[in-house]
């Protein structure tokens, strides 16, 4: 008997709450923004009073989006849903739509003419909104788990077992067309599927264990309530660099030796000073008392 179980994981938030950042200070930068959300484009470090800036849409510069002259914003064609920050050089665009996908040339001029001319490519993607997993026990005790996403452009799938990447000894097969995997008989634990694209990531997982009579024991847990939906981690390495350890030991020994030497020098100076002071006090005992009464008081205070 086969048992199939699925769960639609609750949405982490609406797409309009998503925000991405892109550094557009290099020519040819590839930027991505979430559909209905916000993208922050880093156009410069900060605006300068000696320079003029123009941001266009499309490679032929048919549409002028932003104009900044003498540290003042003279034109913003999408002012109702955008904001340019003069202090840090960022251009924030909200409520992104498919029509915002385009090339954006950026021009910097000074008194001598064009100082810099570059462009960035902005692509708008629908974010992944949910993930659904379905699992079943096969006749020989293997486990098959499939994964699908709710919405999202160009989703990419990855799998983990108990928070780490799956190995060849645990996987029986992988089907990229159906986004499913088949685990071997001895494998059990928390199987997680992560679905992502350039603007979002969603993850869900299930505990699965198949018994000899093909029944299935599985429990769904929301990703937000558990730490198993994390980036896959590699096994810890046990190889140590002996040269690094040796250098560290030599450094520790050198520091300790220096501390001992300075301590001995300090003690030597202290006893030398005490010996000199003692001889001086011993010589003063043969002088008349009334001539050195003040000096005796000073010695006592010291």
CATH number, domain with residue 173: 2.60.40.10
Residue 111 and residue 29 share a domain: yes
pLDDT at 75: 95
Residue 294 and residue 200 share a domain: no
Q: Is residue 263 part of a domain?
A: no
pLDDT in tens, 6-37: 333 333 333 446 899 999 999 999 999 999 99
Residue 145 and residue 103 share a domain: no
Comparing 82-86, 248-252, 270-274, the range with the smallest average pLDDT is 248-252
pLDDT at 177: 86
Q: Is residue 205 part of a domain?
A: yes
pLDDT in tens, 58-103: 999 999 999 999 899 999 999 999 999 999 999 999 999 999 999 9
Q: How do the residues of the chain divide into helix, strand and coil, expressed in percent and rounded to 5?
A: 25, 40, 35
The count of C-alpha atoms lying within 13 angstroms of the C-alpha of 161, restricted to the half-sphere facing its C-beta, is 20
Higher pLDDT: 250 or 164? It is 164
Residue 166 and residue 154 share a domain: yes
Q: Is residue 242 part of a domain?
A: no
- pLDDT tier for residue 51 given thresholds of 50, 70 and 90: very high
Residue by residue, what is the 3-state secondary structure of 173-212?
Answer: EEECCCCEEEECCCCCEEEEEEEECCCCEEEEEEEEEECC
In the sheet with 82-85, reading across from the earlier edge strand, the strands are: 19-23, 38-42, 90-93, 82-85
Residue 133 and residue 121 share a domain: no
pLDDT in tens, 175-225: 988 899 999 888 888 888 999 999 998 888 888 777 655 545 444 444 444
Q: Which of 225, 256, 281 is the last residue of a domain?
A: 225
Total structural domains within the chain: 3
Cα separation of 180 and 291, whole Å? 105
Q: Is residue 239 part of a domain?
A: no
In the sheet with 63-69, reading across from the earlier edge strand, the strands are: 29-34, 113-125, 102-110, 52-57, 63-69, 72-76
Residue 142 and residue 110 share a domain: no
Residue 116 and residue 51 share a domain: yes
Comparing 45-49, 280-284, 286-290, the range with the smallest average pLDDT is 286-290
pLDDT at 114: 84
Q: Is the pLDDT confidence value at 254 over 90?
A: no
Q: Is residue 238 part of a domain?
A: no
Residue 215 and residue 167 share a domain: yes
Q: Is the pLDDT confidence value at 124 over 50?
A: yes
Comparing 116-125, 133-142, 172-181, the range with the smallest average pLDDT is 133-142
Domain residues for the domain of 193 are 5-10+129-225
Residue 112 and residue 50 share a domain: yes
pLDDT at 197: 94
DSSP codes of every residue in 18-29: -EEEEE-SSTTE
Q: How far is C-alpha 277 from the chain's CA centre?
A: 64
Q: Is residue 160 part of a domain?
A: yes
Mean pLDDT of the chain: 75
pLDDT at 212: 59
DSSP β-bridge partners for residue 56? 64
């Amino acid at each position: 008997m086969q048992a199939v179980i699925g769960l639609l994981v609750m949405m982490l938030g609406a797409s309009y709450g998503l925000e991405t950042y892109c550094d557009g200070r290099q020519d040819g930068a590839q930027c991505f923004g979430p559909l209905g959300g916000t993208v922050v484009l880093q156009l410069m470090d900060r605006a300068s009073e000696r320079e003029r800036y123009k941001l266009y849409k499309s490679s032929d510069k048919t549409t002028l989006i932003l104009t900044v002259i003498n540290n003042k914003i003279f034109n913003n064609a999408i002012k109702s849903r955008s904001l340019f920050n003069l202090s840090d050089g960022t251009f924030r665009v909200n409520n992104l739509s498919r029509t915002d996908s385009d090339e954006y040339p950026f021009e910097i001029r000074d008194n001598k003419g064009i100082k810099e001319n570059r462009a960035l490519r902005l692509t708008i993607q629908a974010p992944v909104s949910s993930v659904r997993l379905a699992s079943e026990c096969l006749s020989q005790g293997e486990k098959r788990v499939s994964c699908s996403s709710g919405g999202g452009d160009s989703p990419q799938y990855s799998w983990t077992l108990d928070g780490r990447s799956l190995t060849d000894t645990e996987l029986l097969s992988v089907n990229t067309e159906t986004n499913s995997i088949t685990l071997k008989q001895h494998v059990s634990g928390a199987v997680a599927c992560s679905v992502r694209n350039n603007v979002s990531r969603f993850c869900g997982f299930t505990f699965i264990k198949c018994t000899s009579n093909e029944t299935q024991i599985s429990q769904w847990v929301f990703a937000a309530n558990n730490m198993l939906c994390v980036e896959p981690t590699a096994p810890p390495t046990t190889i140590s660099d002996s040269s690094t350890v040796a250098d560290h030991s030599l450094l520790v020994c050198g520091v300790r030796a220096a501390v001992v030497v300075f301590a001995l020098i300090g003690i030597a100076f202290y006893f030398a000073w005490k010996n000199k002071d003692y001889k001086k006090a011993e010589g003063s005992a043969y002088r008349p008392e009334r001539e050195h009464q003040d000096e005796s008081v000073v010695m006592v205070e010291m």
